[in-house]
Homo-oligomer: A and B are copies of this chain.
Amino acid sequence: MKKLINNPDHVLADSLVGVAAAHPELNVDHINRIIYRGTPTRKDKVALISGGGSGHEPLHGGFVGLGMLDAACAGEVFTSPTPDQMHEATKVADSGAGVLHIVKNYTGDVMNFEMAAEMAEAETGVKVASVVTTDDVAVEDSTWTAGRRGVGITVLLEKIVGAAAEEGRDLAAVTALAKHINDSGRSMGMALTSCTVPAAGKPTFEIPDDMMEIGVGIHGEPGRHRVPLASAAEIAQQLVEPILVDFDFTGSPTIVMLNGMGGSPLIELYVMYGEVAKILQKSGITIARNLVGNYITSLDMAGCSVTLLKVNDELLGLWDAPVNTAGLRWGV
């Protein structure tokens, strides 16, 4: 295992030291492993909290700041944060307008966020709502979930719902919007290579040099099938087609994210984006906005995923609204 780390057991703690050093505009609670905004949440603003296992950076800590999250809980690599962490984050971020938990659909995350919500409501009376993202069309149930996995839509949701919360919308409205976005988005990913979890010290799965995994999860969990290596154009087809079969993206503008899994260089991600854009154009889908880069990663896995989100003018306005985070920044 070749990694830029001190000790496989201290990766999260050490990376949070780096986050704190690099981002004086954020607060880092090293005990509870929470990243939260340096300026307290406004009294009239619903607080947005997310979190999950580490190893997917910039998700979620890189999306804390104006226009996105108020706080993010970092679990150990590929391990859910604890209910206590989420409870602490809920307390630190709540300003009285309530808290939305944004939860990727993995069994541990869902269970722990539910417990945290109960703890927070019982202890402090804070109103907590939640949205569970389920955009991955690859598999209906997986080794890590009941139902579909939550992946790339989480990034787009945090941005758009973050803008809505910043506008002062109430908890019910923010929650409804979050559910609408999850319902309107779909993703599919693939891997050329496995990731390596530091504490495991070896690749999560073995894959031959001439094969790739289509529909892979963001922890290296199995996808739909393992097939021979193919061209970028064919890979794009294998990612986009299942998405379009699952949901109709014609007739409205669409936001497209071509996301790198962590180990694929940007030049390849642009090759992939070119192929995805061609397919969408042929399918009569209008790309209104796009992201190309590493946004929800799987450590050092080589590969990529595609996320589509059907939007309208209102959602595009929220997308374009100012955001000031380590991972996404514009308008400020």
Contact = CB atoms under 8 A, between A and B. Distances in A.
Contacts of A77: 267
- How many copies are assembled? 2
Contacts of A265: 55, 57, 262-263, 297, 299-300
Q: Among A235, A299, A300, which residue has the most Cβ atoms of chain B within 10 A?
A: A300
3 tightest A-B CB contacts, nearest first: A18-B274, A18-B270, A17-B274
Contacts of A19: 270, 274
Interface residues of A, number: 64
B271 A192 contact: no
A66 B18 CA distance: 30
A86 to B, nearest CB: 20
A151 interface: no
Q: Among A262, A269, A270, A329, which residue has the most Cβ atoms of chain B within 10 A?
A: A270
A12 B266 CA distance: 12
A198 B287 CA distance: 29
Interface string A95-134: 0000000000000000000000000000000000000000
Contacts of A271: 4-6, 11, 14-15, 17-18
A297 B275 CA distance: 23
Interface in A295-322: 297, 299-300, 302-304
Contact of A232 (B14, B302, B304): B14
A21 B274 contact: yes
Interface in A263-286: 263-275, 277-278
B268 A21 contact: no
A222 interface: no
A299 B331 contact: no
A329 B329 CA distance: 7
Contacts of A12: 267
